[in-house]
């Protein structure tokens, strides 16, 4: 059964909210309250389920997993820390980068998924150096995730054609040639397809 449902919280709940819900339920079904009562065994089973649900959520969040999201696009199924990441992916896929960026900045935990999505926002904005840095961090935090690695490798391979554009500031590289723009578009298209979108229809 869904551990979030057992605790009565949404997958997007904060760690503090989850802990509060767990403590409330643990207190409600504590064995001492039902000792000698007909419901003693039932309360014990309920408390066991509550403890297991809380432990499961904690492990999932520490590992950066626990929420399965299917984009229906080329990217396939994703594993995210919470429903919030699924919302951010949706915002990126539909091109609402301002909302996606705001939702990312509102999150306090900087997991591998957070850095990957931040990199996707920066990439879609054309800030390639910043995107590459976040993809590198995501890959370092979760080396087994092929989605993160593919995004980093794609940007890194084409890094020479981007100049040093990052976080809204572009270095003086003598301008941007046609080849540079093509390289940028191809890289953006590859990573965009991972989000279920498509920058270049024919590719």
Instruction: Express each pLDDT in 62-92 by its tens digit.
Output: 776 444 333 333 333 333 345 778 888 888 8
Same domain as 185, residue 162: yes
* pLDDT class of 52 with cuts at 50, 70, 90: very high
Same domain as 80, residue 146: yes
Q: What is the mean pLDDT of residues 117-131?
A: 91
Which residues are paired to 20 by β-bridges? none
Domain span at residue 22 reads 3-62
Same domain as 55, residue 120: no
More confident residue, 38 or 73: 38
| 201 occurs within a structural domain | no
pLDDT confidence of residue 182: 47
Around Cβ 112, how many Cβ atoms within 10 Å? 21
Same domain as 40, residue 14: yes
What's the structural domain count of the chain? 2
* pLDDT class of 140 with cuts at 50, 70, 90: very high
| 200 occurs within a structural domain | no
pLDDT confidence of residue 159: 57
pLDDT confidence of residue 91: 84
Same domain as 188, residue 92: yes
pLDDT confidence of residue 190: 52
pLDDT confidence of residue 188: 52
pLDDT confidence of residue 179: 44
| 32 occurs within a structural domain | yes
Which CATH number do you get for residue 13? 1.10.287.110
Which percentage of the chain shows pLDDT scores above 90? Answer: 23
- Mean pLDDT estimate for the chain: 74
Q: What is the mean pLDDT of residues 181-196?
A: 49
* pLDDT class of 180 with cuts at 50, 70, 90: very low
Same domain as 170, residue 108: yes
| 111 occurs within a structural domain | yes
More confident residue, 10 or 202: 10
Same domain as 128, residue 86: yes
Rounded Cα distance between 123 and 112, Å, is 16
Is 88:82 a contact under the CB 8 Å cutoff?
no
> Is pLDDT at 35 greater than 70 in this prediction?
yes
Q: At what angle do helices 146-157 and 112-125 cross, to 10 degrees?
A: 30
Render pLDDT for 142-162 as a digit per residue (tens, 0 to 9): 888 888 888 888 888 765 544
| 134 occurs within a structural domain | yes
How much helix, strand and coil, in percent to the nearest 5, is found in the chain?
A: 60, 5, 30
Alpha helices in 14-160 (DSSP H): 15-28, 40-62, 83-93, 97-106, 112-125, 128-141, 146-157
Longest distance between any two alpha carbons in the chain, whole Å: 82
> Is pLDDT at 197 greater than 60 in this prediction?
no
């Amino acid at each position: 059964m869904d551990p979030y449902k057992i605790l009565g919280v949404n997958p997007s709940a904060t760690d503090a909210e989850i802990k509060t819900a767990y403590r409330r339920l643990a207190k409600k079904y504590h064995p001492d309250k039902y000792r000698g009562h007909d419901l003693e065994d039932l309360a014990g089973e309920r408390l066991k389920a509550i403890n297991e649900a809380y432990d499961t959520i904690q492990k999932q969040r520490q590992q950066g997993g626990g929420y399965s999201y299917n984009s229906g696009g080329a990217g396939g199924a994703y594993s995210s820390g919470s429903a919030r990441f699924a919302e951010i992916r949706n915002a990126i896929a539909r091109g609402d980068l301002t909302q996606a960026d705001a939702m990312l900045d509102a999150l306090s935990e900087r997991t591998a998924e957070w850095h990957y999505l931040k990199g996707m926002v920066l990439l879609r904005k054309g800030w390639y150096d910043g995107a590459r840095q976040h993809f590198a961090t995501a890959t370092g935090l979760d080396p087994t995730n092929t989605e993160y690695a593919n995004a980093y490798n794609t940007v890194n391979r084409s890094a020479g054609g981007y100049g040093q554009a990052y976080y809204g500031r572009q270095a003086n590289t003598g301008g941007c040639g046609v080849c540079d723009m093509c390289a940028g578009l191809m890289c953006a298209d590859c990573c965009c397809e991972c989000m279920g979108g498509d920058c270049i229809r024919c590719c």
